[in-house]
Structure 1
């Protein structure tokens, strides 16, 4: 049950693991709503470097919602961003169906518009790439904090003339994908491809990945039900399941993947079920 607004007001001396705050230009109504919905204390208007009453906080400013580490010298907020930055560049200059994630779901093998279930959506970057290439993507993110970031990023992207058609092919769901996948066949909603990217220790040394993984692990931790997720995905997928893993990590326990696609730091384990419709 959501806490009342009064109960979300933090005491002066208590340090919260997670809170909600905003800049002077952040929307107060949205901040209060997030505080109530997620049952998190609301710190009001803050400067991130001056925050002492929370370790990490959801921070609303003129650029939208971000996940911010408190204190001096902390990196800037992690956001679900599709219009500018890395994803904006990738949208405009990406490698099309030759991108690793596109190959992993089989876009080089078929011209049919695939329904892809991204069962561990995170910040939605891979789902956005697939949607930009014509897939209809159902995104599941069970962590309510990451879900809030993703919902905010998609809402902002929907206002951009170039991104809006892509976002229109993306449907975000809350809660665990395992339950949805387990009941998919009964509902007649079998996915063409199920894509999994469970949380794992990341060895990439780039600043952005390091920042995202550090903040994410604070909030999410590792996925300890990857085996159950893979079983549910294999039961629900029509053509294949694709699992993103660190390049040198073992496969998820269970059936052996039929093939692999390797990149510099990660790989995709492919579990084929039947042939994709031909091009």
Structure 2
């Protein structure tokens, strides 16, 4: 994971009061010019985005729950696997701790279905992007009310900090970073950038054990289809898709 403070570059139409808030919350370093190398967060009138300056042709990454794939899944479905793995069914909407929130896509899907989701993200770069996306979603007249009620972000070192927040949930969800390939150009771009920015979750095995100590009903781990289970611990149940699987650990 990149240990340097996130760099923030403001374009002319950026909200400078918002920029100062981001700087304080995520210990950012404001820069006067867009760097030629490394990573930089860009703030303009439409929100926050992340750019890898060495590979500018890849474009920027932004969290947007109002358009794109997130909006499509909200309107037309396509989240059957993750919802089934977590235990969403008629009359049951479990509370969820998403301990490796990333860009918040699965958390958004589960919240849209009615789950209360607490997200943990330890990278300040990624947490800032996620919070910016949440802020815009909360201001939206169509989804703002339930996003505000059901989605909470905590910028902290994942499960190791859950106890100090006195949090509990029926389900703990883990989707640790891993090297993999996808056909989608968008996913390929994001994975390439994130592997360089935050690296793999080397403590994923430890996270599994901590998650098992916290969840009251189950722990769900999203893994590549061919990957070994975290910590070599076989799951009680599995749910597979074409590209990955969900390892489901039931709490007795």
TM-score by length of 1: 0.81
| Rounded Cα–Cα distance in structure 1 between residues aligned with 2:136 and 2:10 | 17
SS at match of 2:230: coil
1:1-279 to structure 2, matched below 5 A, reads: 19-35=7-23, 37-44=25-32, 51-52=35-36, 54-70=37-53, 74-95=57-78, 99-108=80-89, 111-167=91-147, 168-181=149-162, 187=166, 189-274=167-252
| Rounded Cα–Cα distance in structure 2 between residues aligned with 1:263 and 1:160 | 32
Please report how far the alpha carbon of residue 231 of structure 1 lies from its aligned counterpart in structure 2 after TM superposition.
Answer: 0.5
Contact 1:35 1:41 (8 Å CA) reproduced:
yes
Contact 2:19 2:43 (8 Å CA) reproduced:
yes
Alpha carbon RMSD of aligned pairs, Å?
2.2
- The structure with more radius of gyration: 1
Q: 1:73 to 1:121 in 2, by over 3 A?
A: closer
Please report how far the alpha carbon of residue 267 of structure 1 lies from its aligned counterpart in structure 2 after TM superposition.
Answer: 0.9
Contact 1:128 1:166 (8 Å CA) reproduced:
no
Q: Which runs of 5+ in 1 are unaligned?
A: 1-15, 275-279
Please report how far the alpha carbon of residue 255 of structure 1 lies from its aligned counterpart in structure 2 after TM superposition.
Answer: 2.7
Contact 2:225 2:245 (8 Å CA) reproduced:
yes
Please report how far the alpha carbon of residue 72 of structure 1 lies from its aligned counterpart in structure 2 after TM superposition.
Answer: 7.4
SS at match of 1:86: helix
| Rounded Cα–Cα distance in structure 1 between residues aligned with 2:24 and 2:64 | 24
Q: Which runs of 5+ in 2 are unaligned?
A: none
SS at match of 1:267: strand
Q: 1:256 to 1:72 in 2, by over 3 A?
A: closer
Contact 1:23 1:45 (8 Å CA) reproduced:
no
